Chain A
């Protein structure tokens, strides 16, 4: 049987209180008004019942018509006023304050998200929670405050009514209280069932939505059409549906037992017992007909308020689970830190005995996992991607890093950029361990074109300047774009460098082709005065002519800079001063192109394989 993680009452309280405190701090008005709203409506709701009570007593118990009229007039006045507040609050004030809260929370989350170590993105559990925090925590905060408002409303309304019923006849109140206690107990049970049920079916629902996605995303459309992949997916879908049904069957009977007893059995029996009791009282002349009717109406209302109260209360346990995730996410401290914020001009970069494995890379410590998370143990995982690498790059050097797929080239770059820290060994910048520098300041020394670069939904200029564009930078942007061979395309763009890229949210945006986008990514590196430039397979999306132009351009523009090329197309590597050849995580050869060819090692072999066909073809002609 699935167990619900033990959530101590105190913890639930703390978590929800923390969220309320945050809201009170960020948008104090929201907090105050929400509570006021709860009280006002609580009073209004009980006033309705009280009003009925007095009115019926007046009608039945010998009051005058003028008394009745006064009661009705008082009620009308109350409505007229209360609804002014209600409409102003819900139509104008509440949406405005909600937006303010969203903004404050998002700003905070975004800054946090950016500070996360890249390793966090590799951990699916952490990542799921992270995505949740990004998408849902502000809505959760709103739910907490609004539920609290409603809770106050229910408490105010039901306790007032309880008081009135108690003055009418304590036995009625006692009976009602008894049925309420039973309902709470069984409701808590039902909640446990619900939690276990959700836990069992959540992965199944996720899988269902994955299959849905495959059917509707354009990315998979071709694959679905050329083979019979849809038969596979249908098979998966059917299996999944059966599993969901089996879980529903399993938990159905438990739901029935808890809800059937709490609501149907206890609720119905209590209600009719109350009626019978009151009938007896009326028969003995202890209860007036008007009071009877008013009491029945109040019993209905109290029942409704209390049922709703239980539902709300149980929601707090759920809120707490999510708030806990949010708190841990916000409390997460990045593993990559450093105190030196002034990074001196670049002289040299040295790797000493660097080894690295993704598995043990500053794995985020994340308390939420502790309960039931065991990291997957899969063969091949946790293997060192890099092993005992030693190399030194000095200012102005043009370095090529080559090797087969999976040799660890891209990982090496990530280490040099300090997106990860090595598992073993050190990386020295001007002889100082890079872990001593503030990562942000350190990374500013390095301009990188990633293999999987991204174009942002912003203007061309902002994309080139990485967001920090002012009109003074115009000439720099133009020069950088020119160096990246983008000028021809730029001339076709009506708004020039102000053209908005992507159609993520603007219909009029421009979508670039893969090759064009890559040129923008390359221009980013040219636009700033980075002492070190890293090109991770810069020519992979380019056709041969563009590749040729690019290689030329890089040479022209980087005369005094340190450039690290990563490539498996050896054509690019010929322009490098020094080539480092990697093989499954180990540095196997290094030297200039000529030296390595003369050595007749792996590099020579690799080069020959590529050159062979060209040579062959040349001799044929």
Chain B
């Protein structure tokens, strides 16, 4: 395990990369909806101007106007024009926010998420096992859209601040250039703000692992899977102890960093509120009262503007710094998104099509090791899977059977050796065509919250599919259950989104997933313990049907129950990632090796003494 957290803390992007990542976000929003981006950013310019005109400038215009004895009608005209313009702008923008913006926002969301989905379906399976990659991947999926929007919000903020800053600074400069110095003072305070932020970051990163533990305890209490165990044992006392410990840890972390945060934060805020704002106020009041406008001091209207503007300027400067910090943070998150989107899947297909009738698959010197594992899971596997041959893959837990299936499907590429189809390396074939020529049922297959039809086909339905589905369901033994559903093949599985959805038992789910094999017309069939959740009768019927339905196809099935191995043309017995024995059931029994021993032990329970004498 790499010390991941340390790595991340040190990770800092160059200014160029930061800019590029933020631009990447804006580019994507632009592609999805140029209108949205343009109006959104344009509006902040508008709001910035309107705010200035209706606050500082308005006050100055009125007070100085009155003081200097200007005609009141001119002032009233200004107020009326400004009021009308503001009303029109506000209503217009409101129309945009309420009617256009949500739709455009969704467009952006869909654009970004589909980009991610496509890539997610592309990257190789090994990526899921690489914790560092997977972490980036999950973050990208969770964050991409909201992060991109945040880039836009930050930019929007930035524009509004810059407008306000420019307008107010110009005004102050006109009134008295010395005032700008007060406005710049908060920049010096940035040092303390930074220290306060460092303290906060330290605290949060120390809290992360504690959070994980607390979240686990919570899950254990509410997840249905734990519910039964929670009710029968004393495990909850341990979990409550864990909970108390996590909170003690939290409090320790808060105490450790809190004081630092408070002190630096205090210096920062006092510097701003007291030194800058009250200082400038004092200066303006002094200039108005003691120097007087006759001697080059400020007018009353100017003094009033200073009191308001100096606050606005410090606030904007403060925010501006924060905006830049935000861009840095966005860039870090987007780095993960880009890493994920730019990742070139290592398993790439060629261009060849796969012969529809299948062919001979040869496995030569196949060796494979999972990333991060210390030993090979498969070692120099050699065998030929003849066209139309049915092979039973047997062996104890952890002998590498499922891994071999995954390599045959090219969910992984081998570390050494190769797999060929009709003499051609399988990487020459198009990935979709190659995998598409297999019907596969995994041990840990998953059903989706979609209709029964979609779950079996796992592809968009076509004309004439329903007849095949009915037949497939009958073969897999799921027909009776499906027939009881009110909407038949259209019934949605699970009740996650549909109150009329159906929940299936594990055995029923397995039957349904087996129907996938019957419904497909694929030359190759891979079954990883297809019957583990089935009762003996269902298993028996299923196997019979399976053998009939797959006649002429090449089949590899994994089973713990060796009785089914008898049905195979050949048995491959695996042990510690190697092929230990290989041959027909009869040959292997004759050989009286490991397979025969295993078979006898299982048979003993059924056949009693007749066998155990030999075994």
Contact = CB atoms under 8 A, between A and B. Distances in A.
Tell me if chain B binds chain A. yes
Contacts, number: 456
B289 A68 contact: yes
A376 B114 contact: no
Interface string B441-484: 01011101110001001111000000000000000000000001
Given A124-B495, A275-B58, A222 B274 contact: no
Contact of B307 (A52, A107, A113, A568): A52
A493 interface: no
Contacts of B495: 124, 376
B446 A223 contact: yes
B134 interface: yes
B237 A468 contact: yes
Nearest to B395: A543
Interface stretch (A1-9, A144-152, A398-406, A555-563): A398-406
Contacts of A114: 221, 230-231, 236
B404 interface: no
A466 B76 contact: no
Interface string A251-278: 0110110011001110011011001100
A79 B274 contact: yes
B229 interface: yes
B232 A272 contact: no
B500 A378 contact: yes
Contacts of B449: 210
Judged by DSSP, the binding face of A is: helix
B116 interface: yes
Interface string B207-225: 0010011011110111011
B438 interface: yes
A488 interface: no
Contact of A405 (B396, B406, B538): B538
Interface in A199-225: 203, 206-207, 210-212, 214-216, 218-225
Given A221-B125, A241-B110, A59 B303 contact: yes
A600 to B, nearest CB: 16
A572 B236 contact: no
A212 B500 CA distance: 23
B370 interface: no
Contact of A127 (B224, B398, B459, B486): B224
Interface in A129-144: 130-131, 134-135
A621 B536 contact: no
Given A289-B67, A505-B213, A545-B598, A568 B535 contact: yes
B47 interface: no
B90 interface: yes
Contacts of B242: 458
B444 A219 contact: yes
B607 A614 contact: yes
Contacts of B307: 52, 55-56
A130 B227 CA distance: 13
A571 to B, nearest CB: 3
Interface string A111-135: 0011010100100100100110011
A467 B72 CA distance: 83
A406 B481 CA distance: 11
Interface in A418-451: 419, 439, 443, 446, 448, 450
Contact of B121 (A72, A230, A450, A574): A230
Nearest to B460: A231
Interface stretch (B17-25, B159-167, B247-255, B352-360): B247-255
Contacts of A276: 76, 79-80
Interface residues of B, number: 171
Interface residues of A, number: 170
Contacts of B230: 114
A235 interface: yes
B59 interface: yes
B440 to A, nearest CB: 5
Interface in B95-141: 95, 98-99, 102-103, 106, 109-110, 113-114, 116-118, 120-121, 125, 128-129, 134, 137-138, 141
Contacts of B409: 225-226
Nearest to A52: B307
Given A467-B237, A544-B562, A544-B598, A260 B231 contact: no
Contact of B231 (A64, A256, A419): A419
Contact of A113 (B221, B496, B604): B221
A290 interface: yes
A69 B230 CA distance: 69
B91 A505 contact: no
A570 B539 CA distance: 13
A332 interface: no
A225 B446 contact: no
A212 B141 contact: yes
A467 B289 contact: no
Interface in B420-452: 432, 435-436, 438, 440, 442, 444-446, 448-450
B114 A234 contact: yes
A238 B460 CA distance: 14
A96 to B, nearest CB: 6
Given A571-B605, A617-B589, 12 more contacts: A65-B286, A72-B281, A83-B269, A91-B258, A107-B240, A223-B448, A241-B109, A458-B235, A466-B234, A515-B397, A544-B602, A548-B602
A-B CB proximity, top 4 nearest:
A466-B233, A571-B605, A405-B507, A467-B238
12 contacts: A103-B247, A110-B236, A114-B231, A216-B141, A230-B121, A232-B450, A264-B94, A289-B300, A458-B235, A541-B397, A543-B396, A614-B611
